Chain A
Amino acid sequence: MTKTQPETTTAPVLEITGLTRQFGGLRAVADFHERLAPNELVGLIGPNGAGKTTVFNLVSGFYQPSSGAIKVNGVDTKGLKPHRITALGVARTFQNIRLWNELTVLDNIRVARHGKLGYGFFHAVTRSRTYHEREHEIEREARELLEVFQLDRHADELPKNLPYGTQRRLEIARALAGKPKLLLLDEPAAGLNSVDIQELIRLVRWIHTHFDVTIWMIEHHMDVMMELCQRIKVIDFGETIAAGTPEEIRNHPAVISAYLGDDKI
């Protein structure tokens, strides 16, 4: 790093330029731009099928862009496998919870440390000193994380036996296990009741202040977004139609027509 470059603290965690993804004839994401600075909490909204999840899938490397570039902490992620992108500091949750249901809650957290395991096959089967040291630390950190998320009493249970809200919380905890710089939350409030939603708002805010992490979230519950996000971007049919503070977005004519349907058509 040379001195002439901008200060590392303001260098973007994520920089997306001209991102487009085509599925056959469908442009799910069209010319999308975004720049997330460290510690921002930003929202992405849009009607059903707008392309929000596709943006997250492109960032996490699950899909390859048709064109455009994605940089995570300054590294171009073109052609990288998802686990390599995760290693660059990106973690995410899924719109439909994707926990490993036959692994215990504790193991769900532990396996999410794979990218920073620090040992491999031979250490695992010889039970070397490195293995014991690393496993010890991984277990300690995993238990700490569970405690922080008030999941410690479920440590030995299977995720599928937990209430829905608890599964959501576990999925967020799992995403944080690898100490990411960027956390993508895809509709974390989906399927939650109003009490759980209030708890989720507190949780996200708490994560944002206590973990050194940038949060980018998709959510249909506008009250959640209004309460949490510093700024919000709106997409519809893959196109960005508005961007601004929650206040600006709430009253934006394009947003209102996208959500309520356009009278002119």
Chain B
Amino acid sequence: MQRYSAPLLLVIAGALLVYGAKAEWLSLYVLSVLMFMGVNVILATSLNLVNGSMGEFSCGHAGFMCVGAYTASILGVLLFSGHKSFGEAWLPAELAVWGFPLLILAGGVTAALAGLAVAIPSYRTRGDYLAIITLAANYIILSVVENLDIIGGSRGFMGMKKIVNGMEETLEVPWLPLWVFVFTVFTVWLLRRYLSSTYGKGVMAICQDEVAAEIMSVNTDRIKTVTFMLSSGLAGIAGGLFAFILGYVNPGSFNILKSTEVLVMVYLGGMGSLSGAVLAAIFFTLLLESFRFVIPWLNTLVHQLSLVPESYEVSQVWKWVLIPLLLIIVMQFRPEGIMGNRELGDLFPKLKRFYRFK
């Protein structure tokens, strides 16, 4: 019972998702919100691994997301749909159904390698320096993409919609929501396994006392590298999914604001709490979505009151105000986040009798 309840529940949820999408009682809008929720869960839990569990401060998560997004997109277009700069597709479009998860994984692997490149110079530095290095990495990645004209530069890169449509033509299944669901579950499950092993507990040991960890035989450089690569790899997976959900990518989607969004989710959930990060990501997605309804109304209001110039559009700036503000509010009033560093199972010990998710 305890052993099978979680997988069973997930299978039911997955089936409901597929059925709901096919029967169209989940509208396209609801599906897209659910998918962004999944992407946010992946982003929040993976950043939480570094910032919460390991106690380092990485703040360029969107950079790795960008690497994953572009890798999966370019590879997908190259293989399955063809592109004006790359020519014909290399493989028949029907194969995309099988190739899709591999595209996303390829994005994850490339992002993990980018993570490795960032992790190595950070060995000698501590604390705030990792923040600066990751911030710099975020900017470097964006400028590289912006200056590569072959993939569209700052205008962005397109062609992924065609692949998704192709997949659904080949086999009539809501592929994208399904894969987002699978990768989200995969991420949480992977992190859970990692952190509950003695090997992964080295991550927490580093967070609590790095000197003691190193002297008590933990290879701290190795653990930091593995952890950082895992974190950025998962961000890459989120990026790949994000690109296919939107159907196009441009460097602007992966700027420092996106990184801040992920930070807010992590701090909202509670440092080092995996279930906290999941809950915060869900909550945050819904919050931002609900603001979408309020903003047009707010826009009319400020214009009618002549508080801002005519040309000013609230919708373009509200995120820049709201998200950092949210971060400040969380820090001020609940610095330990929703969950602190505890898990659901610690708060409700009785729950542990009913599920096991490792």
Q: Real complex partners, A and B? A: yes
Residues of chain A at the chain B interface (Cβ within 8 Å)? 60-62, 81-83, 86-87, 91-92, 94, 98-103, 107, 110-117, 119-121, 123-125, 127, 131, 135, 138, 174-175, 177-178
* Contacting pair B194 A125 (CB below 8 A): yes
* Contacting pair B208 A103 (CB below 8 A): yes
Residues of chain B at the chain A interface (Cβ within 8 Å)? 190, 193-194, 197-202, 204-205, 207-209, 211-221, 226, 230, 341, 358
* Contacting pair A107 B215 (CB below 8 A): no
Is chain B's binding surface mostly helix, strand, loop or mixed? helix
In the complex, how many angstroms separate the beta carbon of B198 from the nearest chain A beta carbon? 5
Question: Sorted from nearest, which 5 A-B pairs have the closest CB atoms?
Answer: A115-B217, A124-B197, A98-B212, A86-B217, A100-B208
* Contacting pair B212 A124 (CB below 8 A): no
Shortest Cβ distance from B193 into A: residue: A125
* Contacting pair B201 A103 (CB below 8 A): yes
* Contacting pair A125 B208 (CB below 8 A): no
Apart from A117-B198, A117-B199, list 20 A-B contacts with CB within 8 A: A81-B219, A82-B214, A82-B215, A83-B219, A98-B209, A98-B212, A100-B212, A100-B213, A102-B341, A107-B201, A110-B201, A111-B218, A114-B198, A115-B218, A119-B199, A121-B194, A121-B230, A123-B199, A124-B199, A125-B190
**Option from B204, B217, B226 in Cβ contact (under 8 Å) with A114:** B217
B residues near A121, Cβ cutoff 8 Å: 194, 199, 226, 230
In the complex, how many angstroms separate the beta carbon of A139 from the nearest chain B beta carbon? 8
Most buried by A among B198, B209, B221: B198
Most buried by A among B202, B212, B216, B219: B216
Most buried by A among B204, B218, B358: B218
* Contacting pair A112 B193 (CB below 8 A): no
> How many angstroms from the CA of A25 to the CA of B330 in the assembled complex?
47
> How many angstroms from the CA of A61 to the CA of B216 in the assembled complex?
12
* Contacting pair A113 B198 (CB below 8 A): yes
* Contacting pair B217 A83 (CB below 8 A): yes
* Contacting pair A100 B199 (CB below 8 A): no
B residues near A138, Cβ cutoff 8 Å: 198
In the complex, how many angstroms separate the beta carbon of B48 from the nearest chain A beta carbon? 15
> How many angstroms from the CA of A262 to the CA of B79 in the assembled complex?
84
* Contacting pair B218 A131 (CB below 8 A): no
* Contacting pair B205 A111 (CB below 8 A): yes
> How many angstroms from the CA of A79 to the CA of B95 in the assembled complex?
53
In the complex, how many angstroms separate the beta carbon of B110 from the nearest chain A beta carbon? 18
* Contacting pair B212 A114 (CB below 8 A): no
Using A101-B208, A121-B226, A138-B198 as known contacts, say yes or no to A113 and B193 having CB atoms under 8 A apart: no
A residues near B194, Cβ cutoff 8 Å: 121, 124-125
In the complex, how many angstroms separate the beta carbon of A11 from the nearest chain B beta carbon? 23
* Contacting pair B205 A100 (CB below 8 A): yes
**Option from B207, B216, B221 in Cβ contact (under 8 Å) with A112:** B216
